[in-house]
Chain A
Amino acid sequence: MSFYDELKLLSREQLKLALYSIGPAEVERALVNSEGDLSSLMALLSPAAEPYIEEMAIRAAEITRQRFGTNIGMYLPLYLSNLCANDCDYCGFSMSNKLKRKFLTADELQQEMNIIKGQGFDSILLVSGEHESKVGIDYFCSMLPLVKKQFSYVAMEVQPLEEDEYRRLVNLGLDAVMLYQETYNPTTYQKHHTWGKKQDYRYRVESPERIARSGVDKIGLGVLLGLDDWRLDALLLGHHLSYLERHYWRCRYSLSLPRLRPCTGGISPQTVLTDKGLVQLICAFRLFNQQLEISLSTRESASFRDNLYGLGVTHISAGSSTEPGGYSNPKSQLDQFEINDDRSSAETVNAMLAKGFTPVWKDWQSEWVNLA
């Protein structure tokens, strides 16, 4: 049974009712019995847990320190392309947006990599919009070996692919795939994805299973917080995570928790997730899953990010650009979304060190992979 089938058996109405009728006793119970328990996750995500935010933070900080020490993994996104054949009403790359479109040639890619490498990064996230013909599997296959030559850990955040396509990429050295569901509410999903292949909700929900079968090291899950009720979306994300851990135990999992940000032609959030809400969410997931990696992008402000180290976040990007070629030619107005923390990576790292945390640049050795 795929997760899509499991999801169909869950009643959204009942889950929502349960989530909003949780009382303090259930939260207190969840605080000490949180690991791997979906009903505890529900309690910790509920409005009733808000007054317990400090207790949650103390516990989350303890667990995070025990499991990850003071380490914070450093990565940087590299945008390969802003071409996209979809319309998603929250994204600056939407096809109907008037925007200069480009995808990187091998030379341009090399230039970008030199700059990123020069800042000390060894872990990279390749990002692109969804454009089958120009930026499809063949393009990825031709670019990946170049990237793998320079970076030990290579992740991708592109359109969902077929299982054998993932396998081809893994054989070329791909380490991780990030693929966010955006929302687990099919109605809301349809509303925001108005054109293109991404409209296929089921294909997207089942993608992490195809990715897992390809033998990749890590899978990144996430929802776009603000599209729908964030508490319920986060809870279903927890269900998805535990399904995957049960069935594909050789993979590592990471979580991204992006809040909807302004972008050209984009919508504003339906439900606003406050800073406090985001802290609750991060702590809830840390209490639910001790091993889970949680990454935080530059969508969040500098001061907010600096306060989140230790509460559960394990990976951050710093000094990011969200446009293709943006490291060599900044501010060409091709961005996917506006960046909030615009400090350089050096500035970010200094602030991190001042808080007692340690940036980890290299945490992987590519030669060990695919030896068989």
Chain B
Amino acid sequence: MLTLADTQFSSRLFTGTGKFSSSKTMVGAIEASGSQLVTMAMKRLDLKAGTDDILAPLKASGVKLLPNTSGARNAQEAVFVAELSREVLGTPWIKLEIHPDPKYLMPDPIETLKAAKMLCDKGFVVLPYVHADPVLCRHLEEVGCAAVMPLGSPIGSNQGLATQTFLKIIIEQANIPVIVDAGIGAPSHAMQAMEMGASAVLVNTAIASSRDPVAMARCFKSAVAAGRDAYLAGLGITSSVAQQTSPQMPLTAFLES
């Protein structure tokens, strides 16, 4: 079981709501994924119309909602969106996303830390989306975030774990859950993140943009479960040590004399 703030999750696969062809496919995929936490962009909700093709089916499906601040370009805007979502959706959970760069949607570390601190102080359950920067993750943990969500590669790029080296350091050091977000394009990427010891992964594009999102959601479900089990069982090690030649004079020969 994964505990995030005060909530327990039996599934370590989190999903999103963007890029689906219809809300029916979206709900079908979410159900097939087994996911219990689903993120959703506040900017997508049509608050004035009162009805919504995303929110209503999501609510009906019973998953926990994780509103996100996607679209915000600085801390102030993100805090505004979070306040709005708490008011409208009645949840203090917020996935903090700040990307001032419209091309690659790279998260802004400085504004994210600023907003995270403000939101934690206001009692939000903050899950920040960040670059795979170990020191930034330390800072976010210190200001009280419930988890960190470092990226595997640029969002929506399906390139997998390009940041693997840094994700390893983050996972080693964190005292809060590490959720690998963005860039996971195939079930094997998700499995790899889980084998490394990630607490969970968030997958959206890879499922939504597949030819058969429901089938793909199912594949991710088993990949995440298998990766987690492999991590717990302890991976065998690819070794270079066994083939090493010993130095001519053993390093510990002095102990014999």
- Chain A positions within 8 Å of B, measured between CB atoms, are 29, 31-33, 36, 53-55, 57-59, 61, 245-247, 249, 275-276, 279, 303-304, 307, 310-311
- Residue in B173, B241, B244, B255 whose CB lies within 8 Å of A275: B255
- Assess whether A279 is in contact with B246, with CB atoms less than 8 Å apart: no
Rounded to whole angstroms, the CA-CA distance of A32 and B239 in the bound complex is 6
Contacts of B252 in A (CB 8 A): 53-54, 57, 276, 279
User: Interface residue tally of chain B, by bracket?
Assistant: 10 to 19
- Assess whether B173 is in contact with A276, with CB atoms less than 8 Å apart: no
- Assess whether A57 is in contact with B251, with CB atoms less than 8 Å apart: yes
- Assess whether B172 is in contact with A36, with CB atoms less than 8 Å apart: yes
- Assess whether A33 is in contact with B237, with CB atoms less than 8 Å apart: yes
Among B173, B237, B241, B252, find the residue whose CB has the most chain A CB atoms closer than 10 A. B252
Contacts of B255 in A (CB 8 A): 53, 275-276, 279
CB distance from A70 to the nearest CB of B (A): 15
Rounded to whole angstroms, the CA-CA distance of A53 and B250 in the bound complex is 10
CB distance from A268 to the nearest CB of B (A): 22
- Assess whether B237 is in contact with A58, with CB atoms less than 8 Å apart: no
CB distance from B2 to the nearest CB of A (A): 19
- Assess whether B241 is in contact with A32, with CB atoms less than 8 Å apart: yes
Contacts of A275 in B (CB 8 A): 255
- For the complex with contacts A249-B138, A310-B251, 10 further pairs of A-B residues with Cβ separation under 8 Å are A31-B241, A32-B239, A36-B172, A54-B252, A55-B241, A57-B250, A57-B251, A58-B246, A58-B251, A303-B254
Which A-chain residue is minimally distant from B142 (CB atoms)?
Answer: A249
Say yes or no for B175: interface residue by CB 8 A criterion.
yes
Contacts of B50 in A (CB 8 A): none
Rounded to whole angstroms, the CA-CA distance of A256 and B98 in the bound complex is 45
CB distance from A285 to the nearest CB of B (A): 16
Which A-chain residue is minimally distant from B257 (CB atoms)?
Answer: A303
Say yes or no for B247: interface residue by CB 8 A criterion.
yes
Rounded to whole angstroms, the CA-CA distance of A59 and B237 in the bound complex is 15
- Assess whether B254 is in contact with A246, with CB atoms less than 8 Å apart: no
Contacts of A249 in B (CB 8 A): 138, 173
Contacts of A303 in B (CB 8 A): 254
The 3 A-B pairs at the shortest CB distance, nearest first, are namely: A57-B251, A307-B254, A32-B237
Contacts of B173 in A (CB 8 A): 245-246, 249
Given the interface contacts A247-B175, A275-B255, does A54 sit within 8 Å of B250 by beta carbon?
Answer: yes
